[in-house]
Amino acid sequence: MIYCGIDWAEKTHDVALVDDTGQLLAKRHITDDSVGYKILLDLLAEHGDTEENPIPVAIETSRGLLVAVLRAGRRQVFAINPMAAARYRDRHAVSRKKSDPGDALVLANILRTDMHAHRPLPNDSDLARAIAVLARAQQDAVWNRQQIANQLRSLLREYYPAVLEAFAKWDNGLCRPEARELLKLAPTPLQAARLTRAQITAALKRAGRKRGIEPDTERLREAFRADWAHQPALVEEALGKQMLALLGQLTAACTAADDLAQAVEEAFPKHPDAEIILSFPGLGVQLGARVLAETGDDRTRFADARGLKAYAGASPVTRASGKKSSITRRWVKNDRLNHAGYLWAFAALTASPGAKTHYRRRRDDAGDWHAAAQHNLFNRMLGQLYHCLKNRRLFDELTAFPTTQEPVAAVA
């Protein structure tokens, strides 16, 4: 057996090949371009790499063009955590020396000695990987949008509390197009107090409002003209310019989140697993796409439902030493899937009577707090999802949460 280790960098990579005895067979320094990739593939072919029996490769990343080239065909590519590679480095040298060629050799030896303990990259379909790109990008855009909205709200509290009071009754507050249109029209409290009914009405219409314009116009005008404390005129004008800069960032973030959400809605229903995932209560297109993005469609990736639950951080972990034992939550997990599970379990409480009953049972009988009960519900529904995807079955409420029949009292 031949094993390959690649120390990945931004512009160049170091490659090392070892045999099953640990002897270094070859090492190369290649560039991150098509010429370097060809040198790598030729080097692997010189040492027996074939389409039927490819040489496994260990690398410290799971993304990029180099990984895409290596994953072509049946080759197993192992993405080794850099922290794990650092621990392996200490097995070969206690002097704590480090070099890029040495790291490539360490990665190759990881496969030689412990390949069975590491999981190769899943063999997901191209459609599943494309959905993963879109779903993760949309999730990042939503987080970025919320971060900028929080920054904008913090700034408005310093000099423009009237607008926060005016937008308090709207869902999503500052992220709404009506709020952004009005802020662009009146970046300071003094300008907002001078707005006429016609100007406010026109701003709401430009933002796409069709109904309830007149009541909102009156409410906004009263809020803008109420008695509020003010910053000095020059300071207020400067804060208004700072606000407009943040508003531009928020508008771009909102547009990006909406565009990516539309792309997810177009791509996700095309996947064969979409119908099964959407049959689960609490999972819509966006949240279902996030679940598919992190679990993939390679059915051999997890040996059983327990593996999937551990990967998502839904199942607890036991720590035992001597006479002491404790059961705690998992800290090493897929954070994106765990976050999606929190939203999934919360939405399922109103979409599934069985899920709500299970949640109440955990709260009342088991004594769990809200987060623990919701975590337990996510753990159970994740196991159900694994079963349904494996057996190609839709979610069934009665099968997932069977109700217990109360014994009928005998009539005297």
Give pLDDT, residue 251. Answer: 95
Q: What's the CA gap between 80 and 61, in Å, rounded?
A: 7
Least confident of 143-147, 308-312, 317-321, 341-345: 317-321
Give pLDDT, residue 257. Answer: 96
Closest C-alpha to 176, from 194, 164, 192 = 164
Q: What's the CA gap between 17 and 294, in Å, rounded?
A: 31
Q: Where are the alpha helices (DSSP H) in 126-273?
A: 126-159, 161-166, 177-185, 189-193, 197-206, 213-224, 233-267
Q: What's the CA gap between 70 and 193, in Å, rounded?
A: 62
Neighbours of 20 (CB within 10 A): 10
Give pLDDT, residue 197. Answer: 93
Q: What's the CA gap between 43 and 351, in Å, rounded?
A: 56
Neighbours of 251 (CB within 10 A): 18
Tell the CATH topology of 2-121: Nucleotidyltransferase; domain 5 (3.30.420)
Given a cut of 80, whether residue 93 has pLDDT beyond it is: no
344 band by pLDDT with thresholds 50, 70 and 90: very high
332 band by pLDDT with thresholds 50, 70 and 90: confident
Q: What's the CA gap between 337 and 283, in Å, rounded?
A: 13
Which residues pair with residue 275 across a beta bridge?
Answer: none
Residues 6 or more apart whose Cβ sits within 8 Å of residue 151? 246
Query: CB of 372 within 8 A of CB of 380?
Result: no
Give pLDDT, residue 338. Answer: 93
Phi and psi, residue 403, nearest 5°: -90, 145
Q: Both tokens of residue 75?
A: 């080759």
Given a cut of 70, whether residue 233 has pLDDT beyond it is: yes
Domain boundaries, the chain: 2-121, 130-266, 274-400
SS3 25: strand
Least confident of 189-198, 360-369, 399-408: 399-408
Given a cut of 80, whether residue 96 has pLDDT beyond it is: no
Give percent above pLDDT 70 in the chain: 97
DSSP, residue by residue, 56-113: PEEES-S-SHHHHHHTSSS--EEE--HHHHHHHHHHH-TT----HHHHHHHHHHHHHH
Name the average pLDDT for the chain: 91
CA atoms within 13 A on the CB side of 331: 4
Given a cut of 60, whether residue 404 has pLDDT beyond it is: no
411 band by pLDDT with thresholds 50, 70 and 90: very low
Tens digits of per-residue pLDDT, 199-213? 999 999 999 989 889
Tens digits of per-residue pLDDT, 140-159? 999 999 999 999 999 999 99
Closest C-alpha to 249, from 150, 162, 137 = 150
Given a cut of 50, whether residue 406 has pLDDT beyond it is: no
Given a cut of 90, whether residue 386 has pLDDT beyond it is: yes
Q: What is the pTM of this model?
A: 0.86
Q: Both tokens of residue 171?
A: 């869902």
Given a cut of 90, whether residue 217 has pLDDT beyond it is: yes
Tens digits of per-residue pLDDT, 37-81? 999 999 999 999 898 899 999 999 998 899 999 998 889 999 998
Closest C-alpha to 196, from 221, 177, 215 = 221
Query: CB of 148 within 8 A of CB of 172?
Result: no
Average pLDDT, integer, range 176-192: 94
Average pLDDT, integer, range 268-288: 96
Closest C-alpha to 346, from 411, 256, 281 = 281
Given a cut of 60, whether residue 345 has pLDDT beyond it is: yes
Q: What's the CA gap between 206 and 219, in Å, rounded?
A: 18
Give pLDDT, residue 330. Answer: 78
